[in-house]
Structure 1
Amino acid sequence: MDMHDMSAEVTAADTAAEVATDAAASDPANRTQKKASQTCATCRARKVRCDGRRDVCQNCERLGFTCSFQDKSSPHPDSDSITSFSLPRRRVRLACINCHSRKARCSGETPKCARCQAQGIDCVYRPTKRSGGVNGTAIVTGNNSHSTSQQAGATDSEHESVTSEPPEKRVMLRRDENGSHHGHGLPDNNQRHDLSGPSIPRRLTNDAYGPSSSSAYVSLEADCHRRFKFPDEALILKAFNNYFRHVHHVPVLSFIHRASLMQRYHAGMMDKALLLAIVGITSLLTDLGPGTREYGNRCVDECQQMIYQDLENPSTLKIQALVLIMKHRMLSRRFTGAFMLAAIGARFAYALRLNYENPSLCFLARESRRRLMWAFCTIDSGINGGYSDFTLLPPESMHIQLPCNERNFEFDLPQVTEFLRPIPTKPFPDDVGSLLLHVRLLWMRSRVLYCTKNVLAMSDSELTQLPELVKVLADELRNFHEFLPASFKFSDSNLQLRAYSPRLCVFIMIHVWWRQCHCDLFRIILPGIKESLSRSAVDRLDPQFVAMCAQQCYEHAIGMSDIFRSILALDGGLPVTDLDLAVCAYQCARVLYSIYHTRGVEYQLSADDIVERAQRCLAVAKAMNHVPAGAAVVNDLENLIARGFAPNTPSGPGSPNLVSRQTLFRHNPVYQMQIVDDTEVANMPIPSPLNHAGVPSPYGTSVHTPNSNATPVLSHPRPPGMSMSAEMVLGDQNMPKPNLPPVVPPDGLDNNNAFEGAMDGFDFNFESFGNTGLDAGPWFSNDWLNNDFPQMTV
């Protein structure tokens, strides 16, 4: 055998051996047993150590996961079973802005995550590269989602890139041409605060507006593309600071207790509507930064819409917000809105029985409600203009004490104060509150206006009683001034002592209103002045009475201008005041010009002196020039000064008297309402006090001059010399209840808060306090379906 054959045999043998080996390896019977896996598919996917315990490993048992060892039929899971396992996602792809800023766990749910839902705040997600493109915007806040295209030429694919994005990635933002984000409809020039930021502070609650209103209040603009952005925390805190430093001392805005408000805010219980109202009124009266004035207007609009959407659930918080809204509307020269909102607020107040004392509440809560109701009553007396038809809160319905001293309200020191009736017959105590004096004085003015309006409808026989009616009101005003403590009487010394005090505003307004009440009362004999008698009627009056009225009107107008001179000389300047100061300044100048025309020679008046005093009035009125209503008063006063010495011709079409009279009417909210009536109606008739005895009066008596057969019930001893006719002006058939003892405040400020009971809603059970005999039964019965309506005693 040669070498070639031997090599071939060896090669064949090796090949046969390899084939036999491969065949043996491929035989399952000869395959080596593989070691069982000690890691389940779940632990392998989670990349954690597995103990390999059968049936279920310890990790899966502890976490509640499905363990692959539970599958008895497949003890050795293959790769398919591992890849098919779906591990629960422990972190969401995108956290909302609120949770992200607080570094809190976000559930990523839409339209609201669990945390935002629990805290009652809006949930907003940041934009992504797909949703935040230039060609479109996607919006998700609360329960509302909205997608828009900002360019008309956007393609379908561009729309798809926005709308196909999952909801949790859409946000309430837009981009400008430079790619920066801004809010819709808000100024973006040098903003100090993030007015367009979508995040909402955590210290808010929306429980007062029901479960379905949290999504509705976010966007209520007429333009659906403009979305309201809630103020950021920096702006909120600045608004709070400005409100309590500069605005809270305005008499009709002093019903909020600062410590209680801040306590609720930091506890996350702040009411959204009230917060927006505070931001709105503060931005109008103070400077919160560039663009905040317009933003404040939107806050007030948003607050109003929130209340509209939840009218069925009245609360004290809503009334507080309504009072702030009404004041904002009046300062913005939107008197029609304030006039209509007053009706809603009055219905809320009566439904909650806020016109009665509630002994179950702590002192702070009771005092806050008193201040709220008296502020509302004061605004109502200014809105109704002396017309009983427009009166919503007549004084005889207020069965609550007058406000206490400001210090006692601030530091929670219970104090028992007097009621509005009876009229005081002794000096006020030294610790009397400024707000109490302000409320009582404006109540006197409302009665003066009601009296002067009824005087215009008096017949010749009734005019003989006019001097007696005027004397009663004049004596009451004089007694008010005499009963003031020495520290409350006006002097340059007392004014300087309050130059840097928050009580400066109310101190000024007390004395300005006292002067204005006299001008309102005595100007009925001045021709060309609002609420003045005709010349023929004045000629039929006693000349001495006419001369006395003119003299008193002149002296008090001069006295008011002297007050203006003193406050203009203050080092700190004028504080933030109400529109009433500008209106009183205008009327003071108008009276001075009228006196100059009619009795300038008799009083030896000079034109230079009248112009100088009118300029003082103008300087004071300009303190409110930053609000629309104040600017209108300033404009009218400037026109009055420009034409002040025009000839005083008889009133007629186009005469100066008629023009000035119409100008003065515009400052009355009743005459500034924009109400359209298609019917042909003459001027508003004023019923005569004698011929319309059945017309109810808002002051506890149906008429000023009683019928001969009427026997009034005297609510207090009649002063000597006062006739029965004059007493009817002051009479009140519904006497207030005796003073209730102060409630012992509970321990701790948490339980003694001015917002106690503020979330309480309407309850048909009126017998809890202030029992008036109302029965809840007829409200739920179907008696109103019958033709014979039963008489219900109220």
Structure 2
Amino acid sequence: MGCRVCRARKVKCDGRPDGCRNCERLQLDCDDGCRGGGNDSLRRMRTYRSCQNCRLSKTKCSGSRPRCTRCVAKDMDCLYDGEASPRWASSLGRRDEDASLPVADGPESPVVPVPESESPAAAPDPRRGAAPEPDDKVENQLSWLLSPELPTGRNVRRVVEQYFVNVHPLRCFAFVHKPSFMHQLDKGLGSDDESALLHIVCAHGARFLVLGHCLDGHVATPALVRSAGHQWAKRAEFLMLANFGRISMPRLMVAILLHDYYLGAGEYGQALMLSGLAVRMAYALKINQEYNADVLCSEPEPEPGAPSVASRESRRRLMWACYVLDAGAGSGADLLRESDIKIQLPCNERNFGLRIPAVTETLAVGHVLQFLAPAVVPRRPAANMGIMAYYIRLVALWKRIVRCAGLGLGHGQPDSALAALDADLLLWRRELPDFVEYSTETIYARLDSNQLGALVLIHCTYHHNHLELYRVAMPDLFKLASLPAEQRQALQAAQAGCYHHARRISDIVTDAAEHGVRFLSDSQLPFFLYHSSRVMLYYVARLLDPARPGAEAKMREAVEAVESNSRVLRLMAILFPMAQSLSATTDRWLSKVQQTVGRDELVLLPPLSPPRPGAGDESESRPAGWSTVNPNAGGWDGTSPGPPSGPRRASCSLEHERPVAALCEALDLDDLLSWDLYGISTEMGEGVCNDEMDDCVSQSWTGAI
């Protein structure tokens, strides 16, 4: 007979038991007429009508009337063709009303529910009683995401798809081969390891399913977003730790995904413990080495049990995911060394998805594995690499920067470690292929492939690396030794570099926010924005020469960028609890700076340290322009101070640090004086680090956030 939806639409139904393909394609709840009146029908995740502007630009339309979300944001006229829903949807809704009586505490959702903003009969019906609150509606419609049991049928595929669209492209999480995973999902799970992996994949996907649901319905429910799938994550953790001594590839995948899940939820203690477990599991599985020399799987008679092309690439990606995880968790005191990782970098997504073997470069630029025969090495191995490979190299540079600063190496020589790191960062930037460049064409290409979040992250990480490298130019902010007077000109150039890269982080994230908050779903981005705001405010409030031409314009530019950062942080608060606290802290700084500017006290700010010779030449030594090119691209000769007074993390607590006296009543920069994230995190909430964690542990955990 076909399902009721197909009969109402007058189309042929294939009669599939778990839902017909027509309903699956349209994301509708398929009802074959044999089921009881369900109380947990699903809200549709699509709109029947798109406005003319959205249809012409081929972008998703919210369908809200009289004006959709995109037209409101862009201040355009919003015109629709036809009613909010087709006649078959209305007739199907009337059949449901005739078949069931209304309940006292709210309406029962029809099989194909229509949002209030699109319904032609949005007025409350006195027969149905008072309408429930929007948050209650969302919770009722998506209550299955809060259940401890995984969904079945179409719903489990929905959350899995959300994972592969939103989480899989980020950082180094693309180690799950989607075709193999979906095939295993159709066959059925065969072990607890596979069940644990499915649980954590669904836990990640559930957050984005609720996020899209809330944004489409103009309902912001951060608590519901954070609660969705939480029970599934706990179940995955239980399955992984139940048989603690068992080590397998799926368990390692679960550990890495759980680590990222807890970072996003602000549960840093659990994430810290999982990071060590993941690294030890990687060593035990020996995935830091190639399985054998047959990288291309070209042997006519492979040895029994040899992994397939997809399995080999998944092993490599899993190892590099552990490397990135350990780099953040260790923050200079990591467990994985580059010399122990004897595998090539990941290939691009196309080769991985289609199981195409490929030879790529290793962590060293221009190098391949030593044991490869010359006949199998392509002319340009880097052509087989994707965005993940370049991100891994950027993380390796960040680790070297942290080690250099932590060891207190001497600065000021052309052949110093800082000069070498600056040259390596510039080399990484020059070697970047066109498909990883941050340009308008690349942005829309990555939007089409759901990789805009990965593009935003890699470029924000690049600019953040420069902030770490240039912090020697802000000794008062980072509590380093002051520069001698003869390096004044190089100091000013490095300070300009700090401001330039902090501003670029703000611009990139602000641009990405216009395409949707789901592209800002990496847990590092809130802290990148926080550091960006901190550096820009410090620069204009303490380093900018008021007598320099354009100083007022530069001040307004910085304030606008910090305001934009704060708005984006509030937008990201629906995904990350810490983002709201970071936004509040940024707003506090900004208000004090604005108070200072309002009283015209900016020109009266004294220097942080006693005046140095040549301080009056600051305006002349600064670059005249502020282009998108690195203002300090010429090199690092003479820009660095003498050896710092000690390692950056020589002590286990921030309590020993002497606060710098406030320079004016309106602007208190005590919060700005610590680069350590826990210095601000402990102040902003107890959920940042567990009380049981030793202060030394929390200090070493700063980079993992």
Q: TM-score scaled by structure 2? A: 0.59
1:331 maps to 264
User: For residues 327-366 of structure 1, what are the structure 2 equivalents within 5 Å?
Assistant: 327-359=260-292, 360-366=306-312
Structure 1 residue corresponding to 2:503, chosen from 558, 565, 588: 558
Structure 1 residue corresponding to 2:587, chosen from 638, 642, 647: 638
Tell me which amino acid in the other structure corresponds to 1:440.
R
Compare 349-358 and 420-429 and name the one that shifted more: 420-429
SS at the partner of 1:300? helix
Distance 1:596 1:581 in 2: 23
Tell me which amino acid in the other structure corresponds to 1:594.
Y
- 1:241 and 2:257 are equivalent in the alignment: no
SS at the partner of 1:401? coil
Q: Is the Cα–Cα contact under 8 Å of residues 490 and 511 in structure 1 kept in the other structure?
A: yes
User: Cα deviation per residue 1:527-581 (whole Å; 9 max; x = unaligned)?
Assistant: 4434x414xx3237732332232122222223333334543455x6762530222
Q: Hey, which of these two has a bigger chunk of helix by percent? A: 2
User: Cα deviation per residue 1:713-740 (whole Å; 9 max; x = unaligned)?
Assistant: xxxxxxxxxxxxxxxxxxxxxxxxxxxx
SS at the partner of 1:666? helix
- 1:401 and 2:344 are equivalent in the alignment: yes
Q: Is the Cα–Cα contact under 8 Å of residues 374 and 439 in structure 1 kept in the other structure?
A: yes
Tell me which amino acid in the other structure corresponds to 2:455.
F
Distance 2:484 2:507 in 1: 32
2:394 maps to 441
Distance 1:598 1:468 in 2: 28
- 1:499 and 2:422 are equivalent in the alignment: no
1:652 maps to 659
Matched positions, count: 461
Structure 1 residue corresponding to 2:195, chosen from 264, 269, 272: 272
User: For residues 89-488 of structure 1, what are the structure 2 equivalents within 5 Å?
Assistant: 189-192=139-142, 194=144, 228-269=148-189, 271-287=194-210, 293-359=226-292, 360-386=306-332, 388=333, 391-421=334-364, 429-455=382-408, 462-465=410-413, 468-488=416-436
Distance 1:683 1:269 in 2: 38
SS at the partner of 1:317? helix
Q: CA deviation at 1:478?
A: 0.5
Q: CA deviation at 1:673?
A: 3.6
Structure 2 residue corresponding to 1:600, chosen from 538, 544, 558: 544
Change (3 A) 1:188 1:508: closer
Distance 1:327 1:196 in 2: 20
1:33 maps to none
Q: CA deviation at 1:361?
A: 1.3
Q: Is the Cα–Cα contact under 8 Å of residues 574 and 623 in structure 1 kept in the other structure?
A: no
Q: CA deviation at 1:187?
A: 12
Change (3 A) 1:551 1:409: same
Structure 1 residue corresponding to 2:578, chosen from 629, 636, 642: 629
What residue ranges of structure 2 are gaps of 5+ in the alignment? 1-16, 19-104, 106-135, 214-220, 293-305, 369-378, 597-604, 609-657, 663-667, 701-705
Tell me which amino acid in the other structure corresponds to 1:631.
Q
SS at the partner of 2:477? coil
- 1:613 and 2:572 are equivalent in the alignment: no
Compare 479-488 and 421-430 and name the one that shifted more: 421-430
Change (3 A) 1:507 1:615: same
Tell me which amino acid in the other structure corresponds to 1:343.
G
Q: CA deviation at 1:482?
A: 0.9
Q: CA deviation at 1:448?
A: 1.1
Q: CA deviation at 1:439?
A: 1.0
2:523 maps to 579
Identity %: 22
SS at the partner of 2:140? coil
Q: Is the Cα–Cα contact under 8 Å of residues 247 and 285 in structure 1 kept in the other structure?
A: no
Tell me which amino acid in the other structure corresponds to 1:512.
C
SS at the partner of 2:416? helix
SS at the partner of 1:252? coil
Distance 2:137 2:243 in 1: 30
Tell me which amino acid in the other structure corresponds to 1:302.
R
Q: Is the Cα–Cα contact under 8 Å of residues 427 and 484 in structure 1 kept in the other structure?
A: no
Distance 2:557 2:233 in 1: 43
Distance 2:188 2:669 in 1: 58
Tell me which amino acid in the other structure corresponds to 2:678.
R
Q: Is the Cα–Cα contact under 8 Å of residues 579 and 630 in structure 1 kept in the other structure?
A: no
Change (3 A) 1:523 1:424: farther
Tell me which amino acid in the other structure corresponds to 1:239.
V
Q: Is the Cα–Cα contact under 8 Å of residues 536 and 558 in structure 2 kept in the other structure?
A: yes
Q: CA deviation at 1:430?
A: 4.5
2:653 maps to none
Tell me which amino acid in the other structure corresponds to 1:311.
F
Change (3 A) 1:667 1:630: farther
SS at the partner of 1:630? helix
2:535 maps to 591
Distance 2:498 2:150 in 1: 50
User: Cα deviation per residue 1:608-657 (whole Å; 9 max; x = unaligned)?
Assistant: 21111112223333442112233333333333323345667857367433
1:533 maps to 480
Change (3 A) 1:603 1:632: farther
Change (3 A) 1:267 1:499: closer
Change (3 A) 1:249 1:516: same
Distance 2:453 2:321 in 1: 15
Distance 1:345 1:659 in 2: 34
Q: Is the Cα–Cα contact under 8 Å of residues 583 and 621 in structure 1 kept in the other structure?
A: no
Distance 1:490 1:196 in 2: 38
Change (3 A) 1:414 1:683: closer
Q: Is the Cα–Cα contact under 8 Å of residues 282 and 322 in structure 2 kept in the other structure?
A: no
Change (3 A) 1:576 1:678: closer
Change (3 A) 1:576 1:562: closer
1:674 maps to 690
Change (3 A) 1:558 1:594: same
Tell me which amino acid in the other structure corresponds to 2:252.
I
Bigger Rg over Cα: 1
1:726 maps to none
Tell me which amino acid in the other structure corresponds to 1:661.
L
User: Cα deviation per residue 1:635-682 (whole Å; 9 max; x = unaligned)?
Assistant: 333333233456678573674333223485238999954354789x89
User: Cα deviation per residue 1:111-143 (whole Å; 9 max; x = unaligned)?
Assistant: xxxxxxxxxxxxxxxxxxxxxxxxxxxxxxxxx
Q: CA deviation at 1:469?
A: 1.8
Q: Is the Cα–Cα contact under 8 Å of residues 385 and 669 in structure 1 kept in the other structure?
A: no
Q: CA deviation at 1:246?
A: 2.2
User: Cα deviation per residue 1:269-328 (whole Å; 9 max; x = unaligned)?
Assistant: 361111111122222344177957425222212221222221111111011011111001
Change (3 A) 1:598 1:283: same
2:122 maps to none
Q: Is the Cα–Cα contact under 8 Å of residues 401 and 421 in structure 2 kept in the other structure?
A: yes
Compare 495-504 and 401-410 and name the one that shifted more: 495-504
Distance 2:415 2:493 in 1: 10
Q: CA deviation at 1:585?
A: 1.5
